[in-house]
C-alpha cells in the first residue's frame, strides 16, 4: 500500500479562528439571553404573586397587655383613635377614662372620672353611645335627655411625643315625652341640619314611644344651643314593648325592635312619620325574639342576633315595586353559641366584633367572612374594635382590660369578593360589581373582577369579529391574487398602520368616530352589510362573465372593477340608513310627545338594554383597525412562504386560483396563520388606551354592543394612580394583572399546542 498525501484544503474553506470564536460566543450568548428572558418572566410572575398573597390571609390577633379597672357597673366602652385613652360609661352616666400610655409620673394620668351634667341633677335611666360620632345620649328618670360629645384632641407637649386630651361638650337637658316619667331607651341621629331623637318612655305601666326633631341655630360665634323643634308621639306605631331603638345618622327614621321579634321601620320625611315596613328577622325560628340589634358603619345595614345565636344582616335597598327603600335580608352568618352579649362595629369598614362569654369572633359583613374567632381565657363583658382597626379591647367580668393587637389590612378581600356574586348595600339582589371608591368614608367597596374579565373578553370579541375577516381575506388576496407590482405598495402601507399609536386611535374614536356612529347606527349597519354582500355578489357575477370580458383586466387587477361597485353600494347603504330608521325605529319623544325616528331611543325601549355613545361597537371597530395590520402582515408572510411548486402543481392539474389558495396554500400555511390570529388576539386582550378613551369605561357584565365596558388592562391604568400603596385596591390591581397574565398564558399555550399540531399534520409538505 502506498500512503496518499491528503490534498490541501482550499483557502476559501478555511474558517478563521476569530469567526469560530465569535460563533461559539454567540451560541452561548443566545442561550444566556433565552434563559434570562425566562428568568425575567418568572420573576415578574413571582413579584405579582407576592403582592396578591396577603389578600387571601385571615386576620391575625395577638394578646398585648392587660390592666386592672376599678369595679363598677359598666355599660359601654369607647376609645380615642390611638386607643391611648379609652373610657368606660357607667350606668349612672359617669365616664371613667384610663390612661394606657407608658408616660412616667407626673405625666401619666392614671384613671380619672368625668361626670355629665344631667347625671348630677337626675338619675340616668337610659344611655346610648355612638362610637362613630363619639357622642353619648343620656336619658333621665324625669323625661329629659342630654347629648354629650366626647372630644379627643391630640397635642404635642414641649417634652415631645403625643398626648391625648379629652373634653366633654354637653347640651343642656331637654324634655321629650311626658314630664316626670323615666326614659328607658334613647336613640339619636345627627345629619347636621336635621337632628332626630327617639325615646321609649315608661308611663303608667306601659311603654310610649316619642320622637323629637332638634334644631341648632348658627350664630356669628358659632353653633348655638340645641333646642327641640317639634315632638311626635309614635306610640301608635308599636304594639309590644320596644326592646331596641336605632336612629340612622341621616335622621330619616326610627328602627324599633320589639320584644316579640318584630321590627318596625318608621320613616321621617322632615314633617311627619309613616310606618314604612314591618318585618321579622327570625320568623323561621322557634324563638323569633331578638337578642341584639346594631348598625354597621354607614348605618344602612343592621346586624341581628337571635336568642339561639343565629345571626343575620339586613340592609336597606330600593324596592322597585314600592319605589322606596326598605330593609331586606342580605347576609347569614354561622350561629354563635348563644345570644350575643357584646358587639362592636368597626369604624373603617363593614367588620364587627361580637360573641358571648369567652367566645369572640371578628366578622365581615360584605363577604359573610369570618376573619378571626377564638375562645378567650376570660369572660367578656364589653368589647370594642379600635378606631384605627388595629386593636381589640376586651373588658372581662373581673374588671380587667385586655388589649389585643389586630393585623387585618385586607378584610374585604377573598375569593368571593373577586369572583363571586354579592348582595351589596342598596342592591336588591346579588351581583358582580366593580366600584372601588365612593363619595363617603362608609362606602362599601365592590371589587369583583368578573365585570372586568367579561369586559376584556367583550372588547376582544368585537375587535376580532371586525378584524379577522378583513385581515385574513386581505392577506389571501394580496399574497395569491394581487400583482407583485401593487403588492410592493400595499403591504408596507398596512405595516405602517401597525405603528399608529393607540392613544391617537382612541382619541379619534372618542371625539370623532363615536358621535358619528351613535347618530347613524342603521347607516353603519347597512353600509357594512351592503359592502359584504356586494363583494360576494360581484365576485359571483365576475366569475360567470365571458372570458373575453374578464381578460380585459389582467390577472391581479380585478380590484379596479370591484372597488367602484363596492364603494357605490356602501354609499347607497349609508344613504338608506335614515330611510330604514324612519320606517322601523320610530318612538314617542317623552319631552314633546311627538313620534320621531331615533335608533338611540328605540333600542333601549325595544330590548331593555341601554345605549351609550361610547360603546363596544365603536371599540370593536377601532381596536380591530389596530389589530388588522398585525394579523395581516404575519398571515401574508406565511402564505407567501408556501413553495411556488405547490401553486404551480395545483394550477397545472386544472385547479383555479381560488381552489389553489383555499385547498393547497391555506392548509400549508395554517400554522403561521394560527400564530397570526393568536398574536392579534393578544394585542386585543392587552389593549388599554383605546378602551380607556373610546368607551364609557363602565364595568358591566353583559355583551350588549351598544354599551361600554372596562377591561382588566384599562382598569389598572385608571385605578393605579389613586390606589394607596400596599392597600387593598393596590393589591387587587395586581390580582387583575395576574388574571390577565394567566389569560394570555393559557391562550398562548393552547395556541402553541395547536400550532405544533398543525405543523405535524402538514410537515410532509415543508
Give buried/exposed letters for 414-434 (b at 16+ CB in 10 A, else e). beebbeeebbbbebeeeebbb
Q: Is the dihedral of CA 251, 253, 258, 261 positive or negative?
A: negative
Strands (E), 301-425: 301-306, 311-319, 324-333, 342-345, 351-356, 359-364, 369-375, 380-385, 391-396, 400-407
* Nearest CA-CA partner of 210 in 181, 178, 179: 178
CB count, 10 Å around CB of 601?
Answer: 17
Residue located via cell numbers 380607556: 692
CB count, 10 Å around CB of 357?
Answer: 17
The DSSP output letter for 377 is S
Query: Across the 766 residues of the chain, what is the mean pLDDT of every consecutive 10-residue run?
Result: 65 74 85 88 89 90 90 87 86 85 75 80 83 84 86 78 82 84 88 85 85 77 74 88 89 90 90 90 91 89 92 89 87 92 90 93 92 93 91 91 92 90 87 81 83 89 87 86 80 80 83 85 87 83 77 74 84 88 84 82 85 84 86 86 81 80 82 84 83 82 84 88 88 91 83 75 57
Looking at residue 12, what is its pLDDT?
66
Q: What's the pLDDT tens digit per position in 173-199?
A: 888 888 888 888 899 988 777 888 999
3-class state of residue 529 by DSSP: helix
Distance between CA atoms of residues 632 and 471, nearest Å? 5
Distance between CA atoms of residues 694 and 701, nearest Å? 18
Give the phi and the psi of residue 30 in degrees, each rounded to 5: -65, -40
* Nearest CA-CA partner of 522 in 578, 463, 602: 578
Distance between CA atoms of residues 596 and 519, nearest Å? 14
Looking at residue 692, what is its pLDDT?
83
Overall fold of domain 450-765: MetI-like fold (1.10.3720)
Looking at residue 766, what is its pLDDT?
47
Cis status of the peptide bond prior to 658, with omega within 30 of 0:
no
Q: How many helices (H) and strands (E) does the chain have?
A: 19, 33
Distance between CA atoms of residues 413 and 734, nearest Å? 13
Looking at residue 511, what is its pLDDT?
83
Looking at residue 100, what is its pLDDT?
85
Q: What residues have CB less than 8 Å from 243, skipping those under 6 apart?
A: 185, 257, 258, 259, 290, 293
Q: What one-character-per-residue DSSP string does 129-171 give?
A: EETTTTEEEEEETTSEEEEEEEEEEEE--TTSS-EEEEEEEEP
The count of C-alpha atoms lying within 13 angstroms of the C-alpha of 176, restricted to the half-sphere facing its C-beta, is 38
Asked if residue 289 lies in contact with residue 307, where contact means CB atoms within 8 angstroms, the answer is: yes
CB count, 10 Å around CB of 646?
Answer: 14
In this structure, what C-alpha cell is assigned to residue 129? Answer: 353611645
The DSSP output letter for 592 is T
Distance between CA atoms of residues 309 and 290, nearest Å? 10
Asked if residue 574 lies in contact with residue 527, where contact means CB atoms within 8 angstroms, the answer is: yes
Distance between CA atoms of residues 367 and 445, nearest Å? 11
Asked if residue 481 lies in contact with residue 657, where contact means CB atoms within 8 angstroms, the answer is: yes
3-class state of residue 6 by DSSP: coil
What residue segments make up the domains of the chain, in order of their start? 116-279, 450-765
Neighbouring-strand partners of residue 284: none
Asked if residue 148 lies in contact with residue 135, where contact means CB atoms within 8 angstroms, the answer is: yes
Neighbouring-strand partners of residue 127: 138
Amino acid at each position: 500500500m502506498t500512503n496518499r498525501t491528503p490534498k490541501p484544503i482550499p483557502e476559501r474553506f478555511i474558517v478563521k479562528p476569530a469567526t469560530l470564536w465569535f460563533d461559539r460566543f454567540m451560541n452561548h450568548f443566545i442561550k444566556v439571553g433565552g434563559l434570562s428572558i425566562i428568568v425575567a418572566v418568572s420573576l415578574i410572575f413571582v413579584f405579582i404573586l407576592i403582592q396578591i398573597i396577603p389578600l387571601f390571609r385571615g386576620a391575625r390577633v395577638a394578646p398585648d397587655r392587660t390592666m386592672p379597672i376599678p369595679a363598677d357597673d359598666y355599660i359601654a366602652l369607647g376609645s380615642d383613635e390611638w386607643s391611648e385613652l379609652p373610657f368606660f360609661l357607667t350606668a349612672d352616666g359617669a365616664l371613667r377614662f384610663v390612661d394606657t400610655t407608658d408616660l412616667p409620673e407626673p405625666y401619666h394620668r392614671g384613671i380619672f372620672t368625668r361626670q355629665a351634667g344631667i347625671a348630677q341633677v337626675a338619675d340616668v335611666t337610659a344611655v346610648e353611645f355612638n362610637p362613630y360620632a363619639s357622642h353619648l345620649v343620656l336619658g333621665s328618670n324625669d323625661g329629659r335627655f342630654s347629648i354629650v360629645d366626647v372630644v379627643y384632641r391630640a397635642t404635642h407637649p414641649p417634652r415631645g411625643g403625643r398626648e391625648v386630651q379629652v373634653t366633654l361638650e354637653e347640651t343642656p337637658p331637654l324634655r321629650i315625652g311626658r314630664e316626670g316619667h323615666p326614659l328607658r331607651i334613647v336613640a339619636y341621629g345627627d345629619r347636621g341640619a336635621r337632628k332626630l331623637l327617639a325615646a321609649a318612655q315608661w308611663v303608667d305601666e306601659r311603654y310610649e314611644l316619642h320622637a323629637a326633631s332638634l334644631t341648632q341655630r348658627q350664630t356669628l360665634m358659632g353653633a348655638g344651643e340645641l333646642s327641640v323643634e317639634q315632638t311626635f308621639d309614635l306610640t301608635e306605631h308599636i304594639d309590644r314593648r320596644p326592646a331596641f331603638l336605632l336612629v340612622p345618622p341621616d335622621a330619616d327614621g326610627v328602627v324599633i325592635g320589639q320584644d316579640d321579634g318584630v321590627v318596625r321601620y318608621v320613616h321621617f320625611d322632615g314633617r311627619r312619620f309613616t310606618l314604612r315596613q314591618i318585618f321579622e328577622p327570625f320568623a323561621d325560628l322557634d324563638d323569633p325574639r331578638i337578642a341584639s340589634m346594631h348598625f354597621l358603619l354607614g348605618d344602612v345595614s343592621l346586624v341581628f342576633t337571635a336568642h339561639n345565636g343565629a345571626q343575620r344582616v339586613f340592609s336597606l335597598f330600593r324596592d322597585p315595586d314600592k319605589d322606596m327603600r326598605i330593609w331586606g335580608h342580605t347576609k347569614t352568618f354561622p350561629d354563635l353559641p348563644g345570644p350575643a352579649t357584646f358587639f362592636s362595629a368597626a369604624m373603617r369598614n363593614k367588620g364587627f366584633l361580637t360573641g358571648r362569654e369567652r367566645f369572640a369572633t371578628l366578622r365581615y359583613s360584605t363577604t359573610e367572612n369570618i376573619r378571626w374567632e377564638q375562645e378567650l381565657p376570660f369572660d367578656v363583658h364589653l368589647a370594642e374594635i379600635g378606631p384605627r382597626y388595629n386593636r381589640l379591647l376586651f373588658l372581662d367580668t373581673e374588671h380587667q382590660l385586655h388589649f389585643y393587637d389586630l393585623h387585618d389590612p385586607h378584610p374585604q378581600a377573598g375569593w368571593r369578593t373577586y369572583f363571586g356574586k354579592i348582595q351589596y348595600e342598596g342592591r336588591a339582589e346579588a351581583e358582580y360589581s366593580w366600584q372601588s371608591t365612593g363619595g363617603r368614608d362608609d362606602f362599601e367597596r365592590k371589587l369583583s373582577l368578573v365585570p372586568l374579565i367579561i369586559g376584556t373578553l367583550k372588547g376582544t370579541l368585537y375587535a376580532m369579529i371586525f378584524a379577522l375577516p378583513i385581515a385574513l381575506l386581505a392577506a389571501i388576496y394580496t399574497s395569491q391574487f394581487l400583482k407583485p407590482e401593487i403588492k410592493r405598495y400595499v403591504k408596507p402601507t398596512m405595516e405602517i398602520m401597525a405603528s399608529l399609536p393607540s392613544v391617537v386611535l382612541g382619541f379619534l374614536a372618542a371625539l370623532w368616530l363615536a358621535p358619528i356612529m351613535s347618530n347613524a347606527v342603521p347607516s353603519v349597519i347597512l353600509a357594512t352589510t351592503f359592502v359584504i354582500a356586494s363583494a360576494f355578489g360581484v365576485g359571483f357575477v365576475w366569475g360567470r362573465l365571458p372570458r373575453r370580458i374578464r381578460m380585459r383586466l389582467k390577472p391581479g387587477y380585478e380590484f379596479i372593477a370591484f372597488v367602484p361597485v363596492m364603494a357605490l353600494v356602501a354609499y347607497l347603504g349609508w344613504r338608506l340608513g335614515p330611510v330604514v330608521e324612519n320606517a322601523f325605529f320610530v318612538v314617542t319623544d317623552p319631552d314633546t310627545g311627538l313620534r320621531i325616528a331615533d335608533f338611540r331611543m328605540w333600542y333601549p325601549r325595544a330590548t331593555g338594554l341601554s345605549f351609550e355613545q361610547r360603546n363596544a361597537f365603536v371599540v370593536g371597530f377601532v381596536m380591530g383597525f389596530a389589530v388588522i395590520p398585525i394579523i395581516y402582515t404575519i398571515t401574508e408572510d406565511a402564505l407567501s412562504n408556501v413553495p411556488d411548486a405547490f401553486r404551480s402543481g395545483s394550477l397545472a392539474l386544472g385547479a383555479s386560483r381560488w381552489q389553489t389558495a383555499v385547498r393547497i396554500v391555506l392548509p400549508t400555511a395554517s400554522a403561521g396563520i394560527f400564530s397570526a390570529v393568536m398574536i392579534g388576539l393578544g394585542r386585543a386582550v392587552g389593549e388599554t388606551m383605546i378602551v380607556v378613551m373610546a368607551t364609557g369605561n363602565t364595568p358591566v357584565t353583559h355583551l350588549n354592543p351598544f354599551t361600554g365596558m372596562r377591561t382588566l388592562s384599562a382598569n389598572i391604568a385608571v385605578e393605579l394612580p389613586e390606589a394607596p400603596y400596599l392597600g387593598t385596591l393596590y393589591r387587587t390591581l395586581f390580582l387583575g394583572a395576574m388574571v390577565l397574565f394567566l389569560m394570555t398564558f393559557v391562550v398562548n399555550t393552547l395556541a402553541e399546542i395547536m400550532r405544533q399540531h398543525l405543523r405535524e399534520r402538514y410537515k410532509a409538505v415543508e
